[in-house]
Amino acid sequence: MGYLHAAISEAMRLYPPVPVDTKACKDDDVLPDGTIVKKDWFVTYHTYAMGRMESIWGSDCREFKPERWIENGTVKQESPFRYPVFHAGPRMCLGKELAYIQMKSIAASVMERFEIDVLNKDKCPEHLLSLTLRMKGGLPVKVKERYVEA
């Protein structure tokens, strides 16, 4: 389950379900880097871009590497300010743990019963940007029931 957790985190690093998120500024403020923001301005942070930044993830930032989430055999905790897939700070997603349980249980129960072969592996599906990041045309796969010897 540790590796599956890491693989899901890595997938969401490269393909965050909420790829951009916008906030409205309540009062005049100054960001830690000195940028001035005024009351009622909008500030958008780009989770999709942050997941692909060399300064955060290193030179292999474009590679899908679940191992980057594993340290001494256990899943590493990452700062939500470096990995804002579930947002960060006091208004962070309240369903994060439940979402991981759901994603892991669905993946495990599907993989237990079926073999999934992704078609057109050489091509990455086009993105469809809405409030959430989706795949244009979905992900065509071939499904075969897994044969388990009794």
- Select the residue interacting with ligand HEM from 20, 37, 93, 107 (CB under 6 A): 93
Residue 5 · residue 68 · CB < 8 Å: no
Residue 57 · residue 47 · CB < 8 Å: no
Cα–Cα distance, 21 to 43 (Å, whole number): 8
The gap from C-alpha 130 to its chain's centroid, in whole angstroms, comes to: 16
DSSP state of 123: S
For residues 28 to 67, the per-residue mask of contacts with ligand HEM, x marking binding by CB under 6 A and - elsewhere, is ----------------------------------------
Cβ atoms < 10 Å from Cβ of 70: 15
How many binding residues for ligand HEM (CB under 6 A)?
A: 12
Cα–Cα distance, 7 to 27 (Å, whole number): 39
Q: Is 86 in the site for ligand HEM (CB under 6 A)?
A: yes
Q: Is 124 annotated as a binding residue?
A: no
Q: Is 87 in the site for ligand HEM (CB under 6 A)?
A: yes
Q: Is 104 in the site for ligand HEM (CB under 6 A)?
A: no
Q: Is 20 in the site for ligand HEM (CB under 6 A)?
A: no
Closest approach, Cβ 94 to ligand HEM, in A, equals 4
Cα–Cα distance, 80 to 18 (Å, whole number): 14
Q: Is 95 in the site for ligand HEM (CB under 6 A)?
A: yes
User: Which residues here bind ligand HEM, judged by CB under 6 A?
Assistant: 17-18, 21, 85-87, 91, 93-95, 98-99
